[in-house]
Amino acid sequence: MSDPVLLTADRGAVRVITVNRPDKLNALNAATLDALHAAFREAAADPAVRVVVLTGSGPKAFVAGADIAEMNGLTPVEGRDFSQRGTRMMRFVETMPKPVIAMVNGFALGGGLELAMCCHLRIASDTAKVGQPEINLGLIPGFGGTQRLLRLAGRAATLELCLAGAPIDAARAMQLGIVNRVVPAAELEAQTMALAEQLANAAPLALRGILDCINVGGECGIEEGLEYESAQFGLMFSTQDMREGTTAFLERRKPSFAGK
Active-site annotation holder among 70, 94, 134, 187? 134
pLDDT of 3 higher than 90: no
At 1, the pLDDT band (50, 70, 90 cuts) reads very low
Per-residue pLDDT reduced to its tens digit, 144-160: 999 999 999 999 999 99
Report the CATH architecture of 6-200.
Alpha-Beta Complex (3.90)
H-helix or E-strand spanning residue 240: helix 240-250
Strands 61-63 and 100-104: unpaired
Per-residue pLDDT reduced to its tens digit, 65-122: 999 999 999 999 999 999 999 999 999 999 999 999 999 999 999 999 999 999 999 9
Which DSSP string do the residues of 124-140 spell out, in sequence order?
A: EETT-EEE--GGGGT--
Domain boundary assignment for the chain: 6-200, 204-250
Strands 14-19 and 6-11: antiparallel
Per-residue pLDDT reduced to its tens digit, 37-63: 999 999 999 999 999 999 999 989 999
Q: Which CATH superfamily is domain 204-250 in?
A: Lyase 2-enoyl-coa Hydratase, Chain  A, domain 2 (1.10.12.10)
At 2, the pLDDT band (50, 70, 90 cuts) reads low
pLDDT at 201: 96
CB 165 within 8 A of CB 131: yes
CB 48 within 8 A of CB 10: yes
Per-residue pLDDT reduced to its tens digit, 156-199: 999 999 999 999 999 999 999 999 999 999 999 999 999 999 99
Positive or negative: CA dihedral 250, 251, 253, 256: negative
Q: How many CB atoms lie within 10 A of CB 92?
A: 15
Q: How far apart are CA 116 and CA 130, in angstroms?
A: 10
Angle between helices 240-250 and 204-217 (to 10 degrees): 110
Per-residue pLDDT reduced to its tens digit, 22-35: 999 999 999 999 99
Q: How far apart are CA 31 and CA 37, in angstroms?
A: 10
Picking from 42, 54, 36, the residue whose alpha carbon sits closest to that of residue 91 is: 36
Cα 250 versus chain centre, distance:
35
CB 31 within 8 A of CB 5: yes
pLDDT of 256 higher than 70: yes
pLDDT at 158: 98
Is 134 known to be catalytic?
Answer: yes
Is 42 known to be catalytic?
Answer: no
Active-site annotation holder among 42, 94, 114, 223? 114
Q: How many CB atoms lie within 10 A of CB 253?
A: 9
